[in-house]
Amino acid sequence: MSKNRILSQRTEQDIDQRIERVIKGLGNPEPPLKLDDVRALLKLDRGFYTADDPGLASEVINRIRVATIQVYHRPTLIIDVIKKLSLKALYLPDRKRILLDSNLPEKKHRWNEAHEIGHSLIPWHDDMMLGDNDQTLSRDCHEQVEAEANYAAGRLLFLRERFMQEAKDMPPSMDSVRNLHKRFGNTISTTLYRFVESRGARLPMLGLISRHPHRVSNSTETIKHFIRSPIFAENFSHIDELEIYRGVASYCGSQSGGLLGSDELTLKDDNGDEHIFYFETFYNRYDALTIGIYIKPVKRLIS
Ligand SMILES: [Zn+2]
């Protein structure tokens, strides 16, 4: 649950310029971005596989790295590599081909594909053949190349500044997150992430992606992501996600989908002063998504 690796400004600018060229090349399209069009422009090919796909049984690859580590040193069958490393996606630079695991839920394909497009656009990734397993595709991965491909994927899928421009004119609420999720065609989790980071630049705001608070099996991973807006992280650095989660559980019902509840909760800032936040939690049948928005300080009576 750590934060994404911070890239240098120069690296971000370099990658962003490559994304800008792609979006311009497509004639600055309206959201949602069609990845079919991106692939056509970049002359990339896409295929799907399953770990028992006979079509892959004869394909040989000559080198492969997962997150910068050379894992095979001699020509190897793709199918063996996919199985042994539990790959979820890979990019073959010499064939300009993206391969995605079709056993993954469809809503994950879009991010994975954009991530592999990211690898294809970054020239210094080219001398590696990259495979991505569960860990390297996660937001929390610390490897530099993975962070770079994820950065490219985010800039691409949210159409660079376009998302922020639209988000800043909308009221901070779960409704806005859901509208932007539909409009840009990205998962509600990645949309919540972007929304809190960009819309919460000046307004303290947080997001929580967790299990349903009243339908938890004995899983250790109750909380998947704790998202803090820049100004929230600065002023509420002592608040941990479990404290938030307990507050969320206190107002949520046990519904099997839709809005689970909303309430005002009081959070203490780093100076010990109390502030009221408005919380809403939505359940999409996979994850419970919570947004917490700053309202006002708690008034103190001075005697
Ligand atoms: Zn990758």
- Distance in Å, CA 119 to ligand 1 centroid: 7
User: Measuring CA to CA, how many Å separate 169 from each of 31, 135, 162, 165?
Assistant: 16, 35, 12, 7
pLDDT cut 70: percent of the chain above it: 85
Residue 142 has a pLDDT of 42
- Distance in Å, CA 146 to ligand 1 centroid: 5
Q: What is the mean pLDDT of residues 168-173?
A: 93
Q: Strands, DSSP E only, in 159-229?
A: 205-210, 223-228
- Distance in Å, CA 133 to ligand 1 centroid: 8
Q: Report the predicted TM-score, pTM, of the whole model to 2 decimal places.
A: 0.83
HSE at residue 288, side-chain half, CA atoms within 13 A, is 28
Fold observed for domain 9-157: Arc Repressor Mutant, subunit A (1.10.10)
Per-chain residues with Cβ under 5 A from ion ligand 1: 132, 146, 149
For the chain, give the mean pLDDT. Answer: 86
- Distance in Å, CA 143 to ligand 1 centroid: 9
Q: What is the pLDDT of residues 53-72, one digit of tens each?
A: 767 767 777 666 655 566 66
CB atoms within 10 A of CB 215: 12
Q: Confidence band (pLDDT; 50, 70, 90) for 281?
A: very high
Task: List the one residue out of 217, 191, 210, 205 whose CA is nearest residue 286.
Answer: 210
Q: Strands, DSSP E only, in 240-285?
A: 258-268, 274-283
Residue that the structure tokens 């391969």 belong to: 99
User: Measuring CA to CA, how many Å separate 121 from each of 117, 142, 167, 266?
Assistant: 6, 20, 27, 45
What residue type is assigned to position 241 of the chain? E
For CATH 1.10.10.2910, the residue range(s) in the chain are 9-157
Pick the CATH number of 162-297 from 2.60.120, 3.40.50, 1.10.10, 3.30.450: 3.30.450
Residue 131 has a pLDDT of 60
Top pLDDT among 300 and 102 is at 102
- The partner residues of 69 in beta bridges, in order of sequence, read 66
Q: Confidence band (pLDDT; 50, 70, 90) for 184?
A: very high
- Distance in Å, CA 303 to ligand 1 centroid: 60
- Distance in Å, CA 80 to ligand 1 centroid: 19
- Distance in Å, CA 218 to ligand 1 centroid: 31
- Distance in Å, CA 264 to ligand 1 centroid: 40
Q: What is the mean pLDDT of residues 128-137?
A: 57
CB atoms within 10 A of CB 296: 10
CB 288 within 8 A of CB 192: no
- Distance in Å, CA 169 to ligand 1 centroid: 33
For CATH 3.30.450, the residue range(s) in the chain are 162-297
Residues 81, 79, 88, CA angle at the centre, nearest 5°?
65
- Distance in Å, CA 193 to ligand 1 centroid: 20
